[in-house]
Chains A and B, each alone.
Chain A
């Protein structure tokens, strides 16, 4: 029973919605167990994330991070690779952004720094993905194992660099100096004051993320390279038959994937924190896996899934503020449930839905 037997709107619309509904239903039960009203909780969550300008701003800020890490996982998916090293690649991407900003922020305006920051983040993220990619392509070492190991190496490396090389002299904080205006992206609140984003850190990176979505779509579905990547991912034997080099495809795909993950740091470092600091990635790389799964590895799906997870992050924070019984940990439980149903249990409803759709199709076949 393949996906091909279901109409597209079911595959890409109904099933993700059902998975989401199931996640929220179970989450609701958890809320009931704690002794709170689940409907009130939903109201707070939605209001907190979409109900006012600043909330929307935060939701979009988080969504920007998820778009980058989600795209990173999705691009690798298309080549049949499972890049779960987004966490480390984004962390190293932060180094690229910070080096560009630290070098240029005192001399040039932000729009001159930005291309260098993009280049730096993508190059560092890609470089961090290169070794696992090379090992996979030439030695068959599984990228799932190597990329996750590289997350730990990245973490240690960054702690070392921040403490020993990048730290502001005389400071106790393992972080760089704060960038001047030449190293800061404008906040959307300053560009569109009417939107009322307030203190939300949503910034120009949102548009970079949307542009990345378009480019990923273009490359994957409209270029020879994308054709080769999808061929290799769908049927590696057929790809070799077609003269597509596995080594080249694996390496290029992983470089693209790592680069996209690295670009997440533009939003976080150049857009919001304005300095490089310890552990700024905080799980965005891993959530990107759920975003890519839920978004069916398609840029449009990834945008939708990113907004959803942005809502969970922002609305969840509001919720735990308004309902002290629902702690920060509870919010993580709910996020975990969404990831569980959208990712790991992705196929739970599929057989039932296939059965549901079969008889009607048989009727139409008989009529025809």
Chain B
């Protein structure tokens, strides 16, 4: 074995406008190892990897691959150097077959036939060597996400990647799929491939990596051997202070139901039934969590309850009033008027208007409130005063209501949404992915607020794909799979059991029988 590092970065700097995304980054990645890079959102991990993969050019600094100083002007150059990347959002053509996707951009010639046949043989070899089994003729759109990700890995290997960068690979996977991915990574390592794993999940780092580097605010703050560190130490390094990994809360004292959903069915615009005959209730003073792999109907459920999406049938009882969701034409404003607030799953797409100032976003959805009007005009003074109060209470930084929302960090943007929705004192709060893309410091803050809502006697419905978050916050956990609620557990739910439910083990009885046998 030679000891030349697969990748060596020396004093990498990269700025975007006033933001210094990477500052004097040094990194040494040993050949044949799994090297984790962990850091909060906005710490500069993705920028660093984009420099390595040729999406960005470093302002200063050297990249050394296999002992040779190189420049990487584009991703083609990175591929030539044997660097492959598996993106967080897959770069696949949905209606192409696996094979076609693999050769896309590496077709060899104008005529496809030769390339395809060569690729078929090569794919078979890769499958055997790395246990990466996928049907080469299946269409991408028919494959579950776990297999789609496998295709991404195959794409990189087909291009003879020696170094594989995986950017937040487990975000869309069930726990079981994640475990399988880790097995694949281990096989790849044993075959001498080098793997760079970008994640913000401490548990994954501990489970799979050999070495871990921690980034904070654009700087590389530490590199540790995984065996010689702990989750607590890493968390502290990431945030720069010690953090509570667990949510502190008293047992719930639920009262009467504030929201009851009965037989809710939702069909999406393609005619697919995405929510199937779902019934549940949320009581005052409890947090009900909906666990599930992304894409199993949770988003649609949340949007329907919030008045954004139409239901096919079903009823909603909120504060004693019964609404037939199948026939009513209530929109989001009407639902707000019924004291239901909504923190949407995707704050960029839905929760905020990024080109607006902070104070304008602080009234989005509540702009018809008479408190913000003076005659026919908006009362800007009152709106700004309210915004400043929220900024102070939620420690939103920078504390400037005039700043464009796009210029706030993810955590602060989420606080803007949360402040707006919680401060109107709703009876029911719908929350989707409250901490997606949010740094650890802000996660702690957001979780505390949600528990406060509960303790104030409000009903909270929480949808999250982060099982840890669901388990930490929820007093009851409902598991959704394929549009149905397939199980209900208490706050002490067992992770493995939830994982099985999320993966669609048909129903409870099967699960119990399976466990008994």
Contacts of A362 in B (CB 8 A): 15, 17-18, 20
The answer to whether A222 and B350 touch across the interface, beta carbons within 8 angstroms, is no
Contacts of B407 in A (CB 8 A): 4
Contacts of B332 in A (CB 8 A): 240-243
The answer to whether A227 and B378 touch across the interface, beta carbons within 8 angstroms, is yes
Contacts of A332 in B (CB 8 A): none
The answer to whether B350 and A243 touch across the interface, beta carbons within 8 angstroms, is no
A234 and B333 CA atoms in complex are apart in Å by: 19
Contacts of B334 in A (CB 8 A): 243
The answer to whether B351 and A2 touch across the interface, beta carbons within 8 angstroms, is no
Whether, in the assembled complex, A238 has its beta carbon less than 8 Å from a beta carbon of chain B, the answer is: yes
A231 and B360 CA atoms in complex are apart in Å by: 9
* Best-surrounded residue of B307, B334, B344, B365 (most CB of chain A within 10 A): B365
A365 and B13 CA atoms in complex are apart in Å by: 14
**Nearest CB in chain A to that of B336: its residue:** A243
How many residues from A make CB contacts under 8 Å with B? 27
The answer to whether B342 and A241 touch across the interface, beta carbons within 8 angstroms, is yes
Asked whether A4 and B406 contact (CB < 8 A) given A238-B349, A240-B308, A241-B332, the answer is yes
The A/B interface has a contact count, at CB < 8 Å, of: 87
Whether, in the assembled complex, A282 has its beta carbon less than 8 Å from a beta carbon of chain B, the answer is: no
The answer to whether B364 and A238 touch across the interface, beta carbons within 8 angstroms, is yes
The answer to whether A224 and B18 touch across the interface, beta carbons within 8 angstroms, is no
Interface residues of A in 224-277 (CB under 8 A from B): 224, 227-228, 230-231, 234-235, 237-238, 240-245
Whether, in the assembled complex, B354 has its beta carbon less than 8 Å from a beta carbon of chain A, the answer is: yes
Asked whether A228 and B367 contact (CB < 8 A) given A243-B307, A364-B18, the answer is yes
**Nearest CB in chain A to that of B16: its residue:** A358
Contact with A along B321-340 (1 / 0, CB 8 A): 00000000001111110000
Whether, in the assembled complex, B368 has its beta carbon less than 8 Å from a beta carbon of chain A, the answer is: yes
**Contact residue range for chain B?**
35 or more
The answer to whether B15 and A241 touch across the interface, beta carbons within 8 angstroms, is no
The answer to whether B331 and A243 touch across the interface, beta carbons within 8 angstroms, is yes
- Specify which of B17, B331, B344, B354 is in contact with A361 (CB 8 Å cutoff): B17
* Best-surrounded residue of A2, A228, A243 (most CB of chain B within 10 A): A243
Contact with A along B148-165 (1 / 0, CB 8 A): 000000000000000000
B280 to chain A, nearest CB (A): 23
Contact with B along A45-68 (1 / 0, CB 8 A): 000000000000000000000000
Whether, in the assembled complex, A218 has its beta carbon less than 8 Å from a beta carbon of chain B, the answer is: yes
The answer to whether A235 and B367 touch across the interface, beta carbons within 8 angstroms, is no
Contacts of A230 in B (CB 8 A): 356
A131 and B92 CA atoms in complex are apart in Å by: 41
Contact with A along B403-429 (1 / 0, CB 8 A): 010110000000000000000000000
* Best-surrounded residue of B336, B363, B377 (most CB of chain A within 10 A): B377
Asked whether A361 and B377 contact (CB < 8 A) given A228-B367, A238-B364, A242-B333, the answer is no
Whether, in the assembled complex, A325 has its beta carbon less than 8 Å from a beta carbon of chain B, the answer is: no
Whether, in the assembled complex, B190 has its beta carbon less than 8 Å from a beta carbon of chain A, the answer is: no
Whether, in the assembled complex, B352 has its beta carbon less than 8 Å from a beta carbon of chain A, the answer is: yes
The answer to whether B17 and A2 touch across the interface, beta carbons within 8 angstroms, is no
Whether, in the assembled complex, A138 has its beta carbon less than 8 Å from a beta carbon of chain B, the answer is: no
**Nearest CB in chain B to that of A5: its residue:** B17
The answer to whether B17 and A224 touch across the interface, beta carbons within 8 angstroms, is no
Contacts of B351 in A (CB 8 A): 238, 241
Contacts of A5 in B (CB 8 A): 17
Contacts of B307 in A (CB 8 A): 243
The answer to whether B17 and A238 touch across the interface, beta carbons within 8 angstroms, is no
The answer to whether B331 and A227 touch across the interface, beta carbons within 8 angstroms, is no
**Nearest CB in chain B to that of A368: its residue:** B18
Contacts of B404 in A (CB 8 A): 4
Contacts of A364 in B (CB 8 A): 18
Whether, in the assembled complex, B306 has its beta carbon less than 8 Å from a beta carbon of chain A, the answer is: yes
A174 to chain B, nearest CB (A): 43
Contacts of A224 in B (CB 8 A): 367-368, 373, 378
Whether, in the assembled complex, B355 has its beta carbon less than 8 Å from a beta carbon of chain A, the answer is: yes
**Nearest CB in chain A to that of B383: its residue:** A227
B203 to chain A, nearest CB (A): 33
Whether, in the assembled complex, A223 has its beta carbon less than 8 Å from a beta carbon of chain B, the answer is: yes
**Nearest CB in chain A to that of B349: its residue:** A237
The answer to whether B365 and A243 touch across the interface, beta carbons within 8 angstroms, is yes
The answer to whether B378 and A222 touch across the interface, beta carbons within 8 angstroms, is yes
The answer to whether A241 and B306 touch across the interface, beta carbons within 8 angstroms, is yes
Whether, in the assembled complex, B496 has its beta carbon less than 8 Å from a beta carbon of chain A, the answer is: no
Contacts of A238 in B (CB 8 A): 349-353, 364
Whether, in the assembled complex, B376 has its beta carbon less than 8 Å from a beta carbon of chain A, the answer is: yes
The answer to whether B360 and A2 touch across the interface, beta carbons within 8 angstroms, is no
Contacts of B344 in A (CB 8 A): 241
The answer to whether B356 and A223 touch across the interface, beta carbons within 8 angstroms, is no
The answer to whether A242 and B15 touch across the interface, beta carbons within 8 angstroms, is no
Given A231-B364, A364-B18, 17 further pairs, Cβ under 8 A: A4-B355, A4-B407, A222-B378, A224-B368, A228-B367, A231-B353, A234-B353, A234-B355, A234-B356, A240-B308, A240-B332, A241-B308, A241-B344, A241-B364, A361-B17, A365-B18, A365-B20
Q: Which 3 A-B pairs have the closest CB atoms?
A: A243-B333, A242-B365, A243-B332
B-to-A contact residues, CB < 8 Å:
15-20, 306-308, 331-336, 342, 344, 349-356, 360, 363-365, 367-368, 373, 376-378, 380, 404, 406-407
Jot down 22 A-B pairs with beta carbons below 8 A, ordered by A.
A4-B407, A223-B376, A224-B373, A224-B378, A227-B363, A227-B367, A227-B378, A234-B353, A235-B354, A240-B308, A240-B332, A241-B306, A241-B308, A241-B332, A241-B342, A242-B333, A243-B334, A243-B335, A362-B15, A365-B18, A365-B19, A366-B20
A-to-B contact residues, CB < 8 Å:
2, 4-5, 218, 222-224, 227-228, 230-231, 234-235, 237-238, 240-245, 358, 361-362, 364-366
